[in-house]
């Protein structure tokens, strides 16, 4: 979420070169519509329509997705306000790209235990399998990591949720409406689902990994 278009484009290209599925938006309003698909948010506090601190508070109240404030506001008070608003880290411009990458890695390492703890079932519940294997495809539900032929596949949160839903029901066709409700809740569109299916196929290296059953929904396939 970056207000400077050229800077945002440069940052996005850099992140993609390093294997991240990166996208940018230029306004606070767009940020509030887009953050649901993010595994990590880089948030510029100086947005043209809404104050970045308010964006940070809104996102943090809704979910625990990691947030790094990336901003020209560099005083001690600015940093304190950013962290109090819910940012997990605070990086002042200008900064080095390698430092940003290191901070992203550190924030994501801290975020994984939170997600594993949140997913832990109660003692009374039957424990869900922590690993789903489908041929060369391995899905670790605890760490939310995916490997294919021993190669790590980087997925966004929604891509992982989509793949996990299909893999947890490997012999079933999951109706499109059920996919929408389970992965996106009340915030979805037909185009959103189709875009994520297409991207997931590309990352897995074959369109046959996700089979579209016309008029019904989707099922897990194979290479």
Interval 152-197: pLDDT, tens: 999 888 889 899 999 998 889 999 888 888 887 755 566 778 888 9
Interval 102-149: pLDDT, tens: 999 888 888 765 544 444 444 444 445 588 999 999 999 888 899 999
For range 193-221, the mean pLDDT: 91
d(CA 187, CA 75): 37
d(CA 181, CA 199): 19
The model's pTM:
0.53
Q: How much is the pLDDT for 8?
A: 87
Q: Which residue intervals of 68-182 are DSSP H helices?
A: 76-84, 97-119, 157-167, 176-179
Q: How much is the pLDDT for 42?
A: 95
Tokens of 59: 């996102």
d(CA 107, CA 105): 6
d(CA 40, CA 42): 7
């Amino acid at each position: 979420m970056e207000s400077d278009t050229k800077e945002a484009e440069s940052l996005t290209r850099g992140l993609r070169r390093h294997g991240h599925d990166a996208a940018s938006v230029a306004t606070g309003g767009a940020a509030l519509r887009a953050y649901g698909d993010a595994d990590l948010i880089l948030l510029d506090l100086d947005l043209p329509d809404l104050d970045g601190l308010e964006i940070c508070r809104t996102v943090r109240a809704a979910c625990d997705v990691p947030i790094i404030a990336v901003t020209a506001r560099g005083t001690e008070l600015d940093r304190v306000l950013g962290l109090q608003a819910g940012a997990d880290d605070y990086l002042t411009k200008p900064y080095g790209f390698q430092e940003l990458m290191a901070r992203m890695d550190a924030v994501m390492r801290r975020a994984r235990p939170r997600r594993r703890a949140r997913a832990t079932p109660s003692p009374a519940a039957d424990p869900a399998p922590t690993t789903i294997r489908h041929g060369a495809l391995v899905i670790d539900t605890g760490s939310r990591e995916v490997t294919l032929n021993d190669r790590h596949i980087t997925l966004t949160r929604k891509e992982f949720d989509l793949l996990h839903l299909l893999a947890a029901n490997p012999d079933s066709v999951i109706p499109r409406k059920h996919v929408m409700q389970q992965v996106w809740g009340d915030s979805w569109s037909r185009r959103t689902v189709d875009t994520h299916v297409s991207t997931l196929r590309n990352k897995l290296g074959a369109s046959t990994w996700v089979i579209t059953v016309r008029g019904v929904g989707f099922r897990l396939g194979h290479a």
